[in-house]
A = this chain, B = another copy of it.
Amino acid sequence: MNNSEYLPHIAYDSVIFGFSGEKLKILLIEYHNTGWLALPGGFVKKNEPLDEAVIRGLRERTGLDQVYLEQFYTFGSLERVRPEIMQKILEAQDANLPENHWLLDRFISVGYYALIDYEKVEPMPDALSDSINWYDVDSIPDLLFDHNFIVQKALEHLRTHLDQKLLSVNLLPERFTMKELQQVYEAILGENLNRANFQRKMLSLGILQRHEKLFSGGSHKAPYLYSFKK
Contact = CB atoms under 8 A, between A and B. Distances in A.
A8 interface: yes
A49 B76 contact: yes
A130 interface: no
A152 to B, nearest CB: 16
A228 interface: no
Contacts of A7: 9, 106, 108
Contacts of A106: 7, 46
A47 interface: yes
Contact of A8 (B9, B48, B50, B51): B9
B49 A110 contact: no
Contacts of A77: 49-51
A31 to B, nearest CB: 25
A44 interface: yes
A78 interface: yes
A64 interface: no
A74 interface: yes
Interface of A: 7-10, 44, 46-51, 71, 73-78, 106, 108, 110
Given A48-B78, A49-B76, A51-B77, 15 more contacts: A7-B9, A7-B106, A8-B8, A8-B9, A10-B10, A10-B108, A46-B106, A50-B74, A50-B75, A50-B77, A50-B108, A71-B74, A74-B110, A76-B110, A108-B110
12 contacts: A7-B9, A8-B8, A9-B9, A44-B76, A46-B106, A48-B78, A49-B77, A49-B78, A50-B75, A71-B73, A74-B74, A74-B110
